[in-house]
Amino acid sequence: MEENNLFDVLDSRVLKESKKEEIVAVANLAKRCLHLNGKKRPTMREVAMELEAVQMLQKAPTLQQDYKELEYVRVDMYEPWDVPSSSMNVVKVIGCCLETEVPLLVYEYIPNGTLIQYVNGQIEEFPLTWDMRLRIATEVAGALFYLHSAVSSPIYHRDIKSTNILLDEKYRAKIADFGTSRSITVDQTHLTTLVHGTFGYLDPEYFQSSQFTEMSDVYSFGVVLAELLTGEKAISSTRTQESKSLATYFIQSKEENNFFDVLDSRVLKEGKKEEIVAVANLAKSCLYLNGKKRPTMREVAKELEAVQMLQKAPNLQQDYEELEYVRADMYEPWDVVQSSTLSTSSGDI
């Protein structure tokens, strides 16, 4: 592959029957698996996800021409996102003043207020459509992944909430307010600090242990997703004592099978059932009490992008349940029977 003679060494049947895009994707996946640095190899989950994505492209030939646009299938899938596009969704610092007792930062002006004003209906003349909600969620997820993984020193925001998500002149999301943020070294897994954050968005695990990890930002983002789906506030005195927290209220609705009763009317009217269920299950996985069971922001962003791609490819909706990388139980262990059957049939090595 390094000498650009990949096609000279391929099996003749592979060359004859396969499309170039599929061969290149699988070949690059094999190359990443064989990387000498183990830390740079993909996990088996990532390997399985990409192979399944290639299979889905076989079932949707009309998408072949858009192959490079499919972020979740692209050759460099596991490389950091394009920095300009991801950093677009983080407010820019214009300047600072160090002459005051408390240093001041000057940010770019974002004209259309905060996300909470639109989610809770404070700005009634411009209600958020389902497409806008999905796009905003994807933009925020991408920005958080950028902060966690794509910058030289990872940054934990530590106060993700709808009031800290601003909307610009085109209603694109911008993450703001980095007053409690902390940058960490690449090999650090957590910060031990005094608890900071906002009730309703605060990771319960962080609250109990004072150890903030990237999964604490994931939990807060899960609350924002729940807000976008329901139009409810993160903390509300109008709900029962047990359900004052939106996270609890949302999870209860999922477990009691009355989830569609708590959705925002506009979401119900405009969103396709498959899209809503996918985003709702993603929100639920972000809100797991055990941080280790939550997806990373990379996984969150990739799944939201996959849902958006389904909007652009309606012919794939009927095959939605076959998309393992977007399925409801994406973050649960694979079926034990299926795995054991595979290992038995393949024999011991």
**Among all residues, which ones are annotated catalytic?**
159
Query: Which one-letter DSSP state was computed for residue 154?
Result: -
Query: From CA 13, how far away is CA 50, in angstroms rounded?
Result: 22
281: Cβ–Cβ under 8 A, 6 or more apart, which residues?
328, 329, 330
Alpha-carbon span 3 to 181, nearest angstrom: 44
Could you tell me how many residues make up the chain? Answer: 349
Which phi and psi (to 5°) does residue 166 adopt?
-100, 160
Give phi and psi for 130, each to the nearest 5. -60, -40
Phi, psi angles (nearest 5°) of residue 270: -105, -25
- Select from 113, 118, 193, 107 the least CA-distant residue to 158: 193
